[in-house]
């Protein structure tokens, strides 16, 4: 139920803002607005406080603003004294402003939503790193357990402060999309021993964001090696490990964090057989030695060693909050980053440098909406901002049926001095419908495929 309500509110709110952008600018330009509709299909609710009819329709996957237009048969006969209020009779720049106002409203909303998350503030994981996955970019760069990342820089640019692990992870992903290396300013948690490292994110430019690439890009936060739970009848239980045990060393090597323990377990294979490990754990202030022999478990077609313990996954947290001006700047910067990232991803997919499997549809959107709503207000607001950016950018694509397609018509009109003929618009519109249907079908196919793969 939470998922359904979360996605319905997101769609209604974000589509409503988009259409309200068209509506307000149309009214400001003197255009008569006949109908403001949320949704398509059968009208289930309507009211008309003045000359504009407001409706809610049964299919909540869009909306529209119907304006007085001599080319639209639904406008009916237009009285001579109202011809100047028809959309098609307004100056070119006013028509451009009206069409562009929808995507602009979504982008402006994203700025405010992201600024709101910055003003509210949230508890986020510190950029304090644990042992990184063997062979990952972070591992190759020389990042060690206990390293604290305070700032990043790209291609000789200015250093930017890192406030949280999630912000750092976002910059790593962005750098990989841009095909540039990312420099990190690293120290210990107290700020001592500063040094600079470089992540070779350029090496992953254009690769599909699958599990392998995600493993290369991911950064593990520091989690103390404290056992939270031991699975019954597991290798750990047989060896005598208990919840509350703190792992001190394995085979004589000090274990600094939970990720280090996991990496050691994964390497506990010799000649296709799991080998015994000598663990030293702290239990109620006493050091205890135990012999733990993992069991091989088949996962994803591989035999992997497992001992059957869960760690207390508690990252070190910090409060991230911005002042009013800082928050607005943060909202504008994040909106720009998200919009440019979306455009670059689309561009890479068009030239074959990124997989079309990255396109998501309504099922994935609904899942994320439900997860975000359950995660709390700040997370859900951030989700709304992300979808608002996507709506703004996608509506600016130069495809007939979208705002970007109309803007291309007006660009042609501005350059040639004559509008695109209605016959040409009809042909282009049919092409646009086909392209949009293909995109929607691909997104739905990806959604269904992910459901089966998961």
Residues marked active site are found at 19
- Longest pairwise C-alpha distance within the chain: 94
| Signed CA dihedral, 17, 14, 377, 333: sign only | negative
Q: How many CA atoms lie within 13 A of 152 on its CB side?
A: 22
Contact partners, residue 237, CB within 8 Å, separation at least 6: 230, 231, 308
Contacts 24+ apart (CB under 8 A), 392-399: 392/18, 392/103, 392/104, 392/105, 392/106, 392/107, 392/110, 392/339, 393/103, 393/339, 393/342, 393/343, 393/346, 394/342, 395/18, 395/102, 395/103, 395/106, 396/103, 397/346, 399/432, 399/435, 399/436
- What are the residues facing 239 on neighbouring strands? none
Chain mean position to CA 189: 29
User: CA nearest 294: which of 241, 239, 235?
Assistant: 235
* Dihedral sign, Cα of residue 324, residue 327, residue 333, residue 338: negative
SS3 246: strand
- Distance of alpha carbon 262 from the chain centroid: 28
Are 69 and 50 contacting, i.e. CB atoms less than 8 angstroms apart? no
């Amino acid at each position: 139920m939470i998922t359904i309500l979360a996605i319905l509110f997101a769609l209604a709110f974000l589509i409503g803002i988009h259409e309200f952008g068209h509506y307000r600018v149309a009214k400001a330009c003197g255009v008569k607005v006949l109908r403001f509709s949320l949704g398509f299909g059968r009208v289930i609710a309507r009211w008309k406080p003045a000359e504009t009819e407001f409706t809610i329709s049964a299919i909540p996957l869009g909306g529209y603003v119907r304006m007085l237009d001599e080319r639209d048969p639904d406008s009916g006969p237009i009285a001579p004294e109202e011809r100047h209020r028809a959309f098609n009779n307004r100056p070119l720049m006013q028509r451009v402003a009206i069409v562009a106002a929808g995507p602009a409203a979504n982008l402006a909303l994203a700025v405010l939503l992201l600024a709101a998350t910055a003003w509210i503030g949230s508890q986020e994981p510190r950029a304090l790193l644990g042992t990184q996955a063997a062979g990952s970019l972070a591992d190759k760069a020389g990042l060690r357990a206990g390293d604290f990342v305070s700032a990043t820089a790209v291609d000789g640019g200015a250093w930017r402060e890192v406030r949280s692990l999630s912000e750092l992870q976002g910059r790593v992903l962005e750098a990989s999309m841009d095909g540039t290396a990312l420099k990190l300013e690293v120290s210990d948690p107290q700020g001592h021993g500063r040094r600079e490292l470089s992540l070779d994110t350029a090496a992953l430019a254009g690769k599909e964001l699958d599990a392998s690439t995600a493993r290369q890009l991911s950064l593990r936060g520091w989690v103390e090696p404290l056992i939270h739970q031991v699975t019954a009848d597991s290798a750990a239980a047989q060896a005598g490990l208990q919840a509350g045990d703190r792992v001190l060393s394995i085979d004589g090597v000090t274990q600094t964090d939970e990720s280090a323990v996991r990496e050691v377990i994964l390497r506990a294979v010799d000649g296709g057989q799991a080998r015994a490990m000598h663990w030293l754990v702290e239990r109620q202030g006493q050091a205890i030695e135990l012999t733990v022999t993992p069991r091989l478990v088949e996962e994803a077609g591989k035999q992997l060693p497992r001992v059957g313990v869960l760690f207390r996954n508690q990252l070190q947290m910090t409060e991230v909050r911005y002042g009013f001006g800082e928050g607005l700047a943060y909202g504008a910067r994040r909106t720009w980053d998200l919009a440019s990232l979306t455009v670059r991803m689309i561009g890479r997919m068009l030239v074959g440098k990124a997989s079309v499997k990255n396109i998501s549809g309504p099922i994935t959107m609904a899942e994320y909406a439900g997860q975000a709503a359950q995660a709390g207000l700040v997370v859900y607001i951030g989700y709304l901002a992300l979808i608002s950016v996507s709506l703004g950018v996608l509506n600016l694509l130069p495809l007939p049926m979208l705002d970007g397609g109309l803007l291309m018509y007006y660009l042609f009109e501005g350059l040639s001095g004559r509008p695109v003929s209605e016959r040409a618009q009809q042909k282009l519109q049919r092409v646009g419908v086909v392209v949009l249907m293909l995109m929607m079908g691909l997104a739905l196919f990806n959604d269904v495929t992910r459901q089966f793969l998961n």
